[in-house]
Chains A and B, each alone.
Chain A
Amino acid sequence: MKRTENDKRPDTEMNGVIDSGSSGELLIEIRGLKKNFGKLEVLRGIDLNVHKGDVLVLIGPSGSGKSTLLRSVNMLEKPTEGQIIFEGTDMTRAGKKDLYQLRERMGMVFQQFNLFPHLRVKDNITISPRKVKKMAPKDAEEQAMSLLTRVGLQDKWNEYPERLSGGQKQRVAIVRALAMNPDVMLFDEPTSALDPEMVGEVLDVMKRLAADGMTMLVVTHEMRFARQVADYVLFLDGGVIVEAGKPGDLFDHPQQARTQDFLQKVL
């Protein structure tokens, strides 16, 4: 496997599958994942293990395929080739109903928040628990209120999204995803659309989530966050994982020229 040829860290060498080597049980196995948009090969073969409790941060230049990889994990992008095995089920072969149920257990947070503008904050959070999980409205609201309180937005309960700041929107979006009680959270550049002064409040929520043991896959340009919170950092370029390692190793002693080059530009 090309991407691991020059990589001397033992934990990334087994079968060419990138693995954080952490002790948690295996949650997601990505095998031979390829994605083409027409003739453009965006992902050219990704093999990755995600263990329960891992916080994986994906970095790389724009167009490297990191967002596509993340969006493939919950099948927002249909892979051209390969498998995504989540809790034992291959999502790429799952029927529609199975896919819906698998997605319930994967929360996702988007760059553009994607809150539902026609619904109040409380309904943004409770609509899926009520309609998809058939949770009793009272239980769904209690849970929503306690989650919302945890991110300090209990007073926004009755507001519409348009009345919230970007940072508040993103915190509500995180709560909305958490309300489904997911086993893993996917973050697709969650702070990239925020004004600088609001980045901190969102990262704080994510840090707390990581500290609570949530399994997280995060695509971000926030290198400080990656260094502080990640268990494992993946550097993608040209549709492959070029290098992976613990943040200390990858940031301070990058092995690959492309990684060094990228880090030099962003750090």
Chain B
Amino acid sequence: MIDLTKVWTILTTKFSTFMQGVGVTLELALLTVLMGSLLGLVVAVFRRTRIWPLRILMNVYVAFIRGTPLLVQVLIVVYGLPQIGLRLPRMTLCVIALVINSGAYMAELIRAGLQSVDIGQSEAADSLGMSGTQRMLYVILPQAIKVTLPAVGNEFIAIIKESSVLYAVGVYELTYQAYKLASVNYRYLETLLDAALIYFVLTYATTKLLGLLERRMRRSEKNRE
């Protein structure tokens, strides 16, 4: 039987345990979104290069990551890398796995952003004698990043949720903490509902916060002098 009062009492009595999990989850998500954006940026830019082996390599990377399960990617990195001698802390390996995964999705988002910049912008930069690098750096990228920013916020929310697969490799993020609690108190339903509730609060609050930021950005753009 489900005992709804238990949902509440477990949440309140084990609050600090849940919050430890929240801390790890948010740390993972923040690190991933930051480094994943950088990786995605580099990949997206290199996918436009004239150096075709690099371009193909980047395309293969994006296709491969998007076409395989995150859990498999995590297992490969977390158990595979130490096997070939890369002995890093578990948490670091997890961040690497998430960044590799997120980088591919970010690359797609940033690519769309780059494509949204009008061709006339490139031509203007060219006509002013800019090199390909200068054109990208001073003209295309700043405009593409602005277009991509809202999508990066959504990616952050996605990572908060998807980082729960790391429970499988024993990282003390929110899902792992909840599962550990449940396996002791045998209240799987109530305890995991608590975890779900916390995830929901995190993602919902982030959505609202990002919406607010976006609106403020748009408003300051209209009023800027």
B residues less than 8 Å from A225 (CB atoms): none
Secondary structure dominating the interface of B: helix
Interface string of A88-121 (1 = CB under 8 A from B): 0000000011001101111110101011111000
Residue in A96, A100, A107 whose Cβ sees the most chain B Cβ within 10 Å: A100
B146–A100 touching, CB < 8 Å: no
B residues less than 8 Å from A211 (CB atoms): none
Flag whether A74 is at the interface (Cβ < 8 A): yes
A132–B124 touching, CB < 8 Å: no
Flag whether B183 is at the interface (Cβ < 8 A): no
Q: Determine the distance from Cα of A118 to Cα of B132 in the docked complex, in whole angstroms.
A: 18
Flag whether A242 is at the interface (Cβ < 8 A): no
Q: Quick one: given A127-B138, A131-B138, are A116 and B124 in contact (CB under 8 Å)?
A: yes
Flag whether A80 is at the interface (Cβ < 8 A): no
A residues less than 8 Å from B139 (CB atoms): 116
B129–A100 touching, CB < 8 Å: yes
Closest-CB distance, A173 to chain B (whole angstroms): 8
B residues less than 8 Å from A108 (CB atoms): 123-124, 127
A residues less than 8 Å from B225 (CB atoms): 158-159
A residues less than 8 Å from B146 (CB atoms): 118
A76–B123 touching, CB < 8 Å: yes
Q: Determine the distance from Cα of A253 to Cα of B158 in the docked complex, in whole angstroms.
A: 71
Q: Determine the distance from Cα of A128 to Cα of B126 in the docked complex, in whole angstroms.
A: 10
Q: Quick one: given A114-B120, A114-B121, A114-B124, are A180 and B138 in contact (CB under 8 Å)?
A: no
Residue in A74, A106, A114, A180 whose Cβ sees the most chain B Cβ within 10 Å: A114
Flag whether B224 is at the interface (Cβ < 8 A): yes
Residue in B120, B127, B134 whose Cβ sees the most chain A Cβ within 10 Å: B127
B129–A176 touching, CB < 8 Å: no
Residue in B124, B139, B224 whose Cβ sees the most chain A Cβ within 10 Å: B124
A128–B123 touching, CB < 8 Å: no
A128–B143 touching, CB < 8 Å: no
B127–A76 touching, CB < 8 Å: yes
Q: Determine the distance from Cα of A26 to Cα of B94 in the docked complex, in whole angstroms.
A: 65
A131–B130 touching, CB < 8 Å: yes
B126–A76 touching, CB < 8 Å: yes
Q: Quick one: given A127-B138, A131-B134, A131-B138, are A116 and B127 in contact (CB under 8 Å)?
A: no
Interface residues in B28-52 (C-beta closer than 8 Å to A): none
Tally of contact residues, A, Cβ under 8 A: 31
Interface string of B130-159 (1 = CB under 8 A from A): 111010001100110010000000000000
Closest-CB distance, B52 to chain A (whole angstroms): 17
Interface residues in A194-243 (C-beta closer than 8 Å to B): none
| Identity of the chain A residue whose Cβ is nearest the Cβ of B124 in the assembled complex | A114
Flag whether B128 is at the interface (Cβ < 8 A): yes
A132–B224 touching, CB < 8 Å: no
Flag whether A177 is at the interface (Cβ < 8 A): yes
| Identity of the chain B residue whose Cβ is nearest the Cβ of A105 in the assembled complex | B129
Closest-CB distance, B119 to chain A (whole angstroms): 9
Flag whether A262 is at the interface (Cβ < 8 A): no
Q: Determine the distance from Cα of A255 to Cα of B129 in the docked complex, in whole angstroms.
A: 40
| Identity of the chain B residue whose Cβ is nearest the Cβ of A102 in the assembled complex | B129
Flag whether A160 is at the interface (Cβ < 8 A): yes
Q: Determine the distance from Cα of A158 to Cα of B138 in the docked complex, in whole angstroms.
A: 18
A177: which of B121, B126, B128, B142 is its contact (CB, 8 Å)? B128
| Identity of the chain A residue whose Cβ is nearest the Cβ of B142 in the assembled complex | A118
| Identity of the chain B residue whose Cβ is nearest the Cβ of A127 in the assembled complex | B138
Q: Quick one: given A116-B139, A158-B225, are A103 and B124 in contact (CB under 8 Å)?
A: no
Q: Measuring CB to CB, which residues of chain B are less than 8 angstroms from any residue of chain A? A: 118, 120-121, 123-124, 126-132, 134, 138-139, 142-143, 146, 224-225
Please list 18 pairs of residues, one from A and one from B, whose beta carbons are closer than 8 Å in the complex, sorted by A's number.
A76-B126, A76-B127, A96-B132, A100-B130, A100-B131, A104-B129, A108-B127, A112-B120, A114-B120, A116-B124, A118-B146, A128-B129, A128-B130, A131-B138, A132-B128, A176-B128, A177-B127, A177-B128
Other A-B pairs beyond A112-B118, A177-B128, A180-B129, 9, CB < 8 Å: A103-B127, A103-B128, A104-B128, A114-B120, A114-B121, A116-B143, A131-B130, A132-B128, A132-B131
State the 7 A-B residue pairs at the shortest beta-carbon distance, nearest first.
A104-B129, A108-B127, A114-B124, A128-B128, A114-B120, A103-B129, A132-B129
